[in-house]
Amino acid sequence: MMRKGAVLAALAGLALSACATSGPTGLEVRDRATVNSVIAWSPAASAANWNAEALDRSIVGMPILIKDNIETADMPTTAGSLALVNNAPGRDAPLVARLRAAGAVIAGKANLSEWANFRGADSISGWSAVGGQTRNPHALDRNPCGSSSGSAAAVAAGLVPAAIGTETNGSIVCPAAANGVVGFKPTVGLVSRTHIVPISESQDTAGPITRTVADAALILSAMAGTDPADPATAEADARRTDYRAALDAGSLAGVRIGVARFASGYHNGTDAVFEAALADLRAAGAELVEITEGPEMGPIGRAQFTVLLTEFKAGLNAYLASTDPTQVPTRTLADLIAFNEATPRELALFGQEYFVQAEATGGLDDPEYIEARDTARRLAGPEGIDRLLAEHDVVALVAPTGGPAWPTDPVLGDNFTGSSSTLAAVAGYPHLTVPMGFVQGLPVGLSIFGAQWDDARILSLGYAYEQQSRAFRAPAFLNSVNDNEAIAPLLSPAVSQ
């Protein structure tokens, strides 16, 4: 394995070489030929002055991709939908403004699962009508997961050192794990959601996707902070810290960590890699505590879905009302449903059942919604993560983030095997995924999640694990997982006929 400095230096040279030879066009050619992760490159990308030495001090000159449901002043924000293709409000989301103020270069807009994977039940992660299908750089026929598909694939492919994703449930940690990189979903309220196309006021947040935990901590330090326009962030200035300075390679020593067995067991290969990750945690000094029983997920999932449908309608209608009607003629969710029905490319692969269900909801004053919101928060937070931490006297929980990437299938949609994202997502608590190994050449991640506002500790524990495991591996860009040297011989007859 290459040491961290060598990895950063090689990646910096790769990105700057592509920029220097032909500006963003060089990056665009590489992207289109491989992962198709970016909807639009900014001309500013060619001015990126990113080098490995500067990364230890600041993000000055670092090119960062922004998921295309987050507004930037210099590029349209489409959420992957043709209905928003001309949505150019000329404003930066506060988190983008913070990144620019810290010296980052906004390199472009990353493709995503259209509407952040909240349109239809048989969706294809990484596909949008605007950007097409993003591919997994480890095997191009495999799915990148979503909805921050382009953000994770671009970082894994070495096109940029970092990207910003968003998550409602799994949309940062799943693509990060499936593409073999680091993804961090902060506590809801640590990072502003203003000028981000919404799904859920209760669960939405933005977060960094990077190749290392240190870079994720660096970027979070720049992004985090109070935004008067987002009441959820009222405590952010008081809670935020220098997350990179708080990293400690020895932070696992003597610490009790809960092994969330109830969030594993859905894929044998992933479970085997998880056992190796647990051995690394022990080697780093952690005391592991087995937890076999967790919260019942059915009631949490049902309450969550009611919350998402109701909040999506209210939030999206408010967002559309904030756009320029000359750029975005669809002014409501009902208009958007009609637009999709009249636009063949939008509904050619899957439907909009969630849109239709959301349109039928009764609003934020509906008692059914209020009960579901309170139930979801209680079951996932105080009676979920908080109870597990207290009863087992542990500071965090670990589990596999999810299984290896499935084949992209435009006919049947996603073949999702399982994940550990729901508890932290519904509670609004921090969740980090770090590369933990490979299943037949496909990466899988280790999830570390814990209490509300415990972001610094979660990042530090992940950093300590990362230094022990050194599990990151650059992608091979195989056309198919069947080309893997360990798999290919097994697909031919054992004896020639």
Catalytic residues: 67, 147, 171
Q: Yes or no: say if 9 and 52 are a contact pair by the CB < 8 Å rule.
A: yes
Q: How far is CA 253 from the centre of its chain?
A: 28
Cα 426–175–430 angle (5° rounding)?
A: 35
List all residues 6 or more positions away from 495 whose beta carbon is below 8 Å from its beta carbon: none
Give the position of tokens 């969630």: 354
The answer to whether the peptide bond before residue 125 is cis (omega within 30 degrees of 0) is no
**What does the chain come to in residues?**
497
CA-based max dimension of the chain:
73
User: Exposed/middle/buried for 476, CB within 10 Å: 0-12, 13-18, 19+?
Assistant: middle
